[in-house]
Structure 1
Amino acid sequence: MNGLASVLVPLPVVLPLVAAGLTLVVTRRIALQRAISLTALGVVLTASIWMVFLADAQGPLVVHAGGWEPPMGIPLVVDRLSAIMLVVSVIVTGGVLLFAIGQGRSGGDESDGDSPLPIFHPTMMVLISGVATTFISGDLFHIYVGFEMLLIASFVLLTLGGSPQRVSAGTNYVFVSLLSSLFFLSAIALVYAATGTVTLAQLAGRLDALSPEAAVTIQVLLLIGFAVKAAVFPMSGWLPDSYPTASASVTAVFAGLLTKVGVYAIIRTQTLLFPHGAINNLLLWAALLTMLVGILGAIAQNDIKRLLSFTLVSHIGYLLFGVALANQAGLSGAIFYMVHHIVIQTTLFLVVGLVEWRSGTTSLDELGGLAKTAPFIAILFFVPALNLAGIPPFSGFLGKVGIFQGGVQEGGWLSYLVIASAVLTSLLTLYAVARVWARAFWQRPVTELVAKSVHGSAPSDTAAEGNGGRHVAAVRRGGPDGPLRNPASTRYADVATGPLELDPERLARLQVIADRPVPRGTVLPTVLLVVVGISLTVVAGPLYGITDRAAADLLVRTPYIEAVFPGGAP
C-alpha cells in the first residue's frame, strides 16, 4: 500500500498544477485547454474515489513530501474525511467546468464575452489544487499555503471580465481574506513559538501541555481565521456582496465549495488539536446566530443570487452546530451535511445561471412564467430547492436529522435552543425557495404586464393587471396617453414588494432576450449535479457509515497521529 499511496496521495495537488501550466502554454487553443482540464479532473476523481476505499479499509494514507520525515518534512495525510472532501470537490468542480464549457466561453457571462486572456482553465486548476492542498496537508503552515492559493485563484475568477462591479467585489473579497490570513498566520507563529512545530499530529500532544490560557488564545485565533473563510456570523457580511457579482460558473463553485474549506479546517483543528471543548458553548451561539441571521437576510432579498448567498450563510450554521456538539452523531451528521450542501448549493447556482441566460435577469421583480416557458429549468430548480429546505426523504433532511440526534445526545438547554433555531431555519428556507418558485416560475412575466400598461391598454391613468395576487401598475400623468411620471424610467407599483422602477432600455432588453434558448451544453452538467444530489439519498446508508467511522476516528485522534508517527509523536 505504501507504494500505491505515494502515487495517489500527492496526485490531487500535483496533477492540477501540471494541468494549469499546460493550459497556460496552449492559451490560444481553447479546445485543448478544455481537454487538459477535464482529463486532469477525471484522473483526480478516480484517484480520490480509490483513496476513499483505501482509507476506509486500511486507515489514513500518509506520504512524506520529498521523503523527509516530520517534523522536518511535510506529511500529506488522506483519512476518511479528507478523501470524502476530495471526491465531492472534484465532482462539483467538474460539473462547473462542463457548465462553463457549455456556455461556449472560458468563463465570464454574456455581458462580458470571453476574458481578454483565456485564463479561466488555468485558474480553475490552481483553485482545485489549493483546495486539495488544504484537505491533505498534515501541518498548519501548508494549510495556510492552500488558503493563499485559493485566495489568488478566487480573485482572478471573481474579476474575470473586468467590470467595475466585479473588481469592487473582488477587492472587498481580497481585503477580507487577507484579514483572515493575518489571524491564521499569527496563530501559526504563536503555535510554533509555544511548541516548536506546526505538524498537526505532533501538535495534538504538545498543545495539551500548554496552559489553558495559551491554548484558548491559539484556538480563538485559528477559529477567527477559519470562520471568516467559512462565513460564520458575525464574519459573514462579505459573502452576499462578493459571490453574486461573478459569472454563473464561478459563483457556483465558490458558493458550493470554498466556504466548506473553512469548515473543514475548523473540523480538523477542533477535533485534533483542541478536543477538550473549552469554547464549545461559544461555537453553539455562533451556529445559532449564523443560522438565523443568514436566513432572515435571505427572505429579505429580491435577487435569487443574493437570496441563495444568504441561505448559504445560514446553512453553515448547521455544520458549526455539528462540530460544536463534539460527539460522534453530531460530527458525522455535519460531515454528511457538508457533502450534501456542497452539491446542492452548487447545483442551485448553476440552475440560476440557466435562469439568467434564458431571462436576462435574476431579479424576482423582473422574472415570471418560467414554469410555462422553461418547464425543464423549473424541474431542475424544484428538486434541489426542496433538498436545500430539508424536505424528506432528501439528503438535506437526513443530514439535519443526524445533527439533531447529536444535539439530543448532548442535551442541555443551549443545545435544544439551537435545535429549535435549526428547525425554524429549515421552515424559513422552505419559505424562501417557495417565494422564488412563486415569483420566478409561477406568476406571469413582469415584462408582459409592464408592456401592456406602457402601451396604454388600461382605461385610466393607472393601468393595472392582476397577477395571481400581485398587482402591477404603470403610472402615467394625465391619463393613459400622458407622459411618464419620470421620463427616464417606467415606474410601476407592486403590492407585494412596493414601488419599482425599470429603465426603458432595460425593459426592452428583457423583452428581446425573453425565452432565449439555453445552450444544451449547460443543461447536461446541471442535470448531472441534480442526479448526484438525488443519489445522496440513495447512498445515504453507506455514506453515513463512512462518516460515522470518520467521526469516530476524529474524536479519538489516535488513527491520525499513529499514521504520521507509527512509533508515537516525538
Structure 2
Amino acid sequence: MTWLVPLPVVVPLVAAGLALAISRRSRAQGIISVAAVSTVLAVAVALIFLTHTAGPQVVDVGDWAAPVGIALVADRLSALMLVVSALVILGVLAYSLAQGLADGNDGAPVAIYHPTYLVLAAGVSMAFLSGDLFNLYVGFEILLAASFVLLTLGGTGERIRAGSIYVVVSLLSSVLFLVSIALIYAATGTLNLAQLSERLPEVDSGIRLLLQIMLLLGFAIKAAVFPLSAWLPDSYPTAPAPVTAVFAGLLTKVGVYAIIRAQTLLFTDGVLDDILLVAAIATMLVGIIGAVAQEDIKRLLSFTLVSHIGYMIFGISLASDTGLSASIFYIVHHITVQTALFLIAGLVERRGGTTSLEELGSLAKVAPALGAVFFLSAMNLAGIPPMSGFLGKIGLLQAGIQTGSGLALVGVGTGLLTSLLTLYAVIKAWNKAFWQEAPQPLPDTRVPRTMFGPAAVIASVGVLIAVIGGPLYHYTDDAARDLRARTPYIEAVLVHGDRGAGQSSDAAGGDG
C-alpha cells in the first residue's frame, strides 16, 4: 500500500488547482477543501497503522530508485505528524468556513484563501514525507509562499508589515538551508537522507560540524528557537484567527521536525547537543518572561509558543530514547493546544471586540462556554495534571533527570519554572478577560456555534491525548527507538531503492 504515501501531497495540490479554477464559487471551494483535507486525514490514519505494523513505507517518484530519484518516506514519526497536522488543518478549515458564513465574506480574500490553504497543507505534508534534503527545502518554500499570502489577507498596513518581516526572516532561513544543501552535496555527492547518514561520518569532522551548524541555524529560525525567535511575536498576532491558529500549531513544528531528522539521522555524534540544550533553556526562559509581560492575548500566546518550543528542543538535545519520545509526545500535545488557544482568542476578539486584556472583562458571564474552553486549554498548556501537557512535561523532566548532567538538571529546573510562569500568565489572562468586570460595556456580538464548535473539538483533542497517553507514549517510544537506531529508515529507503533498480534492470533485460 505504498501508493498511499504521496497522496497527502498530491491530493491538496490537485484540490488547490480545482479550487482556483472555480474561484467565483466559494461554497464549492469549501466543499473541495473539506473533501481534500478529510482524504489526507484518512490516508494519514492508514499510514500510521501501516508504518507501525509493517515499518517505513517508501515511494520512489517516477520509479527512479533511491538514492538517484526522489523518495517519499513515511515512518512512525512522519505518519504521526501527518495525522495531527491533518486533524488541525481540518478543524481550522471548519472554523474559517463558519467565520466566512457568519461574516458574509463573498469577496476576493475567500477566492484565494482556499487554494492557498490547500497549498499550505501540501507543503506541510511534503516536509514530513521528504526523503531528501532538497525536497525538504521545496516543502519549506511551498510553506513560505502560501503562508505569506495567508498572513497578508485583507491587505491592511499592519498585516503587510508583519508579513514583510516574516518573509525576510524566512528567506534568510531558506538561503542558509540552500547554501547548506549545496555544501552537503559538494562534500558527499548526495542529498538523500538515508545515504547521507552513511556518507557524512566519512567527511572531515570540521567540515561536518560546519554543515551541521548551518543546517541547524536554518531549521532553528523556522522553529523560532532563541535567539532566532524575535520575528514570531510580531508576525503571528496580526493575521486572521484561523491563519494565526494554523501557523502557531504547525509551522514552527515543521522546523522542530527537521531538527529531529538532522540530529537523529545525519549528525549523531552529539557534538552540538550541549549547545542545543543551552538554546532550549534560553528559549523557555526568554519566551515565558515575554509572555508574562504581555497585555494582549494573542501576543501572550505567541510568546508562550516560543517558550514551549524550548521543551521540544530540550528533549531532542538529551539524545536519549526517553527524551526524544517525550519530545515527540509534547509536539503532538502542543500542536492541538496552541491551535485551540489561538482559535479561542479569535472568538474572544469577536465577542469582546478586542484581545487587549486591559479592555476585556466579564466574558465568563456573557460567554461561559467560551470561558470554560479557554480555561481548559490554558490549564493544559500550563501542564496541570492529569492533562496531556502534564504528561509531556513529566516525560521530558524524567529524561533530563535520567541524563544526570549538570546542564540537563538546569534544564529540568528551567522547565519547572517555565511551567509555573506559564500557569501565572494564562491565569492572569483568564482573570482579566473572563473574571474581572469589563471597564466598559462589551459589544453585543454573539459567537456563532459553528465557529465555537471546531475550537472546542480541537481543545477536546488536547484532553483526549491525556486519555490515550499510555498507548501514545508506547507509540512515541517505538518511534524514538527507530529514529535513534536509524536502521529501519535507512534499510527501507536504500534496500527498497536497490530492489527497484534491480527490477528496472530486469525489465530492461527482458525488453532486450
Verify: 1:375 aligned to 2:368, yes or no: yes
Task: Give the structure-1-normalised TM-score.
Answer: 0.86
Verify: 1:204 aligned to 2:197, yes or no: yes
Residue number in structure 2 paired with 1:74: 70
Give the secondary-structure state (helix, strand or coil) at the position aligned to 1:27. coil
User: Which amino acid in the other structure matches residue 145 of structure 1?
Assistant: V
> Structure 1 residue runs of 4+, over 3 Å off?
112-117, 567-570
Structure with bigger helix share is 2
Verify: 1:5 aligned to 2:2, yes or no: yes
* Cα offset, 1:114, TM superposition: 4.3
* Cα offset, 1:293, TM superposition: 0.1
Question: For each residue in 1:141-165, what CA deviation from the matched residue of structure 2 results, as whole angstroms up to 9, or x when unmatched?
Answer: 0000000000000000000000000
| Contact residue 288 and residue 422 of structure 2 kept, 8 A | yes
Verify: 1:43 aligned to 2:39, yes or no: yes
Verify: 1:144 aligned to 2:113, yes or no: no
Residue number in structure 1 paired with 2:29: 33
| Contact residue 51 and residue 83 of structure 1 kept, 8 A | yes
* Cα offset, 1:115, TM superposition: 3.9
| Contact residue 141 and residue 198 of structure 1 kept, 8 A | yes
CA distance in 1, matches of 2:464, 2:172: 38
Choose the corresponding residue for 2:446, options 517, 529, 540.
Answer: 517
Residue number in structure 2 paired with 1:556: 485
CA distance in 2, matches of 1:542, 1:116: 42
| Contact residue 115 and residue 160 of structure 1 kept, 8 A | no
CA distance in 2, matches of 1:39, 1:113: 21
- 1:360-509 matches, within 5 Å, as 360-448=353-441
* Cα offset, 1:404, TM superposition: 1.2
Residue number in structure 2 paired with 1:156: 149
User: Which amino acid in the other structure matches residue 323 of structure 1?
Assistant: I
Verify: 1:326 aligned to 2:322, yes or no: no
Give the secondary-structure state (helix, strand or coil) at the position aligned to 1:517. coil
CA distance in 2, matches of 1:216, 1:101: 47
Cα RMSD for the two superposed structures: 1.5
Give the secondary-structure state (helix, strand or coil) at the position aligned to 1:62. strand
CA distance in 1, matches of 2:444, 2:460: 25
| Contact residue 255 and residue 346 of structure 1 kept, 8 A | yes
Question: For each residue in 1:315-365, what CA deviation from the matched residue of structure 2 results, as whole angstroms up to 9, or x when unmatched?
Answer: 000000000001000000000000000000000000011101111100001
Verify: 1:544 aligned to 2:467, yes or no: no
* Cα offset, 1:408, TM superposition: 1.3
User: Which amino acid in the other structure matches residue 36 of structure 1?
Assistant: I
| Contact residue 159 and residue 246 of structure 1 kept, 8 A | yes
Between the two structures, name the one with larger relative contact order (CA 8 Å, sep ≥ 6): 2
CA distance in 2, matches of 1:64, 1:385: 43
Verify: 1:85 aligned to 2:81, yes or no: yes
Question: For each residue in 1:192-233, what CA deviation from the matched residue of structure 2 results, as whole angstroms up to 9, or x when unmatched?
Answer: 000000000000010000111111100000000000000000
* Cα offset, 1:538, TM superposition: 0.8
CA distance in 2, matches of 1:90, 1:444: 39
| Contact residue 561 and residue 568 of structure 1 kept, 8 A | no
* Cα offset, 1:125, TM superposition: 0.3
Which shifted more, 114-123 or 337-346? 114-123
CA distance in 1, matches of 2:181, 2:354: 44
Give the secondary-structure state (helix, strand or coil) at the position aligned to 1:521. helix
Residue number in structure 1 paired with 2:50: 54
User: Which amino acid in the other structure matches residue 93 of structure 1?
Assistant: I
Give the secondary-structure state (helix, strand or coil) at the position aligned to 1:326. coil
User: Which amino acid in the other structure matches residue 243 of structure 1?
Assistant: Y
Give the secondary-structure state (helix, strand or coil) at the position aligned to 1:76. strand
Question: For each residue in 1:293-322, what CA deviation from the matched residue of structure 2 results, as whole angstroms up to 9, or x when unmatched?
Answer: 000000000000000000000000000000
Residue number in structure 2 paired with 1:489: none
| Contact residue 5 and residue 57 of structure 2 kept, 8 A | yes
| Contact residue 140 and residue 199 of structure 1 kept, 8 A | yes
Gaps of 5+ in 1: 449-510
Give the secondary-structure state (helix, strand or coil) at the position aligned to 2:268. coil
Give the secondary-structure state (helix, strand or coil) at the position aligned to 2:440. helix
Count of paired positions:
499
* Cα offset, 1:515, TM superposition: 3.6
Give the secondary-structure state (helix, strand or coil) at the position aligned to 2:66. coil
Question: For each residue in 1:416-442, what CA deviation from the matched residue of structure 2 results, as whole angstroms up to 9, or x when unmatched?
Answer: 001000100000000000000110000
Residue number in structure 2 paired with 1:530: 459
**Identity rate of aligned residues, in percent?**
59
* Cα offset, 1:521, TM superposition: 1.3
* Cα offset, 1:530, TM superposition: 1.5
Residue number in structure 1 paired with 2:508: none
Gaps of 5+ in 2: 502-512
Residue number in structure 2 paired with 1:185: 178
CA distance in 2, matches of 1:388, 1:115: 36
| Contact residue 67 and residue 494 of structure 2 kept, 8 A | no
* Cα offset, 1:16, TM superposition: 0.2
- Are the structure 2 counterparts of residues 568 and 134 from structure 1 closer, same or farther at C-alpha, using a change threshold of 3 Å? closer
Residue number in structure 2 paired with 1:458: none
| Contact residue 159 and residue 167 of structure 1 kept, 8 A | yes
CA distance in 2, matches of 1:13, 1:275: 29
| Contact residue 67 and residue 497 of structure 2 kept, 8 A | no
Residue number in structure 1 paired with 2:504: none
CA distance in 2, matches of 1:403, 1:364: 32
Choose the corresponding residue for 1:315, options 308, 314, 331.
Answer: 308
Residue number in structure 2 paired with 1:485: none
CA distance in 1, matches of 2:210, 2:297: 39
User: Which amino acid in the other structure matches residue 532 of structure 1?
Assistant: V
* Cα offset, 1:60, TM superposition: 0.2
- 1:209-224 matches, within 5 Å, as 209-224=202-217
* Cα offset, 1:91, TM superposition: 0.5
CA distance in 1, matches of 2:202, 2:155: 51
* Cα offset, 1:405, TM superposition: 1.5
Question: For each residue in 1:507-554, what CA deviation from the matched residue of structure 2 results, as whole angstroms up to 9, or x when unmatched?
Answer: xxxx5xx24111221011111112111100111111111100000000
